Amino acid sequence: MNQLRPCFVITAALLVLCCFVYPGAVTAFAQVLFREQANGSLIEKDGKVVGSAIIGQSVVDWTAHPEYLWGRASAASNDAATGITYSSGSNYGPMNPALLAEVKARVTLLQASGVKGAIPADLVTKSASGLDPHISVAAAALQVPRIAGTRKAAPGKVREVIARHTEQSSLGFLGEPRVNVLRVNLDLDAQAPYTAPPKQAPSAAPAK
């Protein structure tokens, strides 16, 4: 019994310390000093949460939205029942024919949208997580003519919006400058609103 008592006391103390005191202290610290980041870096529009600054948007078909800045392709899976997006990559090796086919298909799609010249790798490949919220500065610049033309806005105005949401290397040397896709698209809607053209009504069948 003399040996069991210290074991129970130590177990109970560690349980309280590791499961209640430490998590509570870390949570309180984060809520006071890093409240936005601790709560998921959520972005709101008109009082509603529309996404997160650190999680890429799940868009099935970017080509259906030529007025927006397109993000990276994703291999993440979506649960229709819960609306949860699960992080995943394609896991294709560099010589996998399926990967090469995907890249060629995206190059063709981008060229059809008006992109000319060399295409940055992040526009034609999927990220490891499938949830990358950023694209490179070069990838964003290539899309300016399409966005400006669709929104009937000056290209300079679109570039200003992109520049406003370009994040520099962390601490000045970690990573490269990158553009937050969701923040750009929300700002584009505010600065250069887009009105979709009316759908043409189907013509009536000729009378017999």
Q: What is the pLDDT along the chain (208 residues), one digit of tens a residue?
A: 677 888 999 999 999 999 999 999 999 999 988 888 888 888 888 888 888 888 887 776 788 899 999 998 888 776 656 666 677 777 888 889 998 999 999 999 999 988 888 999 999 988 888 888 999 999 999 999 999 999 999 999 999 999 999 999 888 888 899 999 999 999 999 999 988 777 766 555 555 5
Residue 74 φ/ψ, nearest 5 degrees: -140, 145
What are the extents of the domains in the chain? Answer: 1-39, 41-191
> What's the farthest any 2 CA atoms get from each other in the chain?
102
Q: Which amino acid is it at 23?
A: P
Cβ within 8 Å of residue 158, ≥6 positions away: 144, 147, 148, 151, 188, 192
Give, for 186, the enclosing helix (H) or strand (E).
Answer: helix 181-191
Cβ within 8 Å of residue 205, ≥6 positions away: none
C-alpha to C-alpha distance for 192 and 149, rounded to whole angstroms: 11
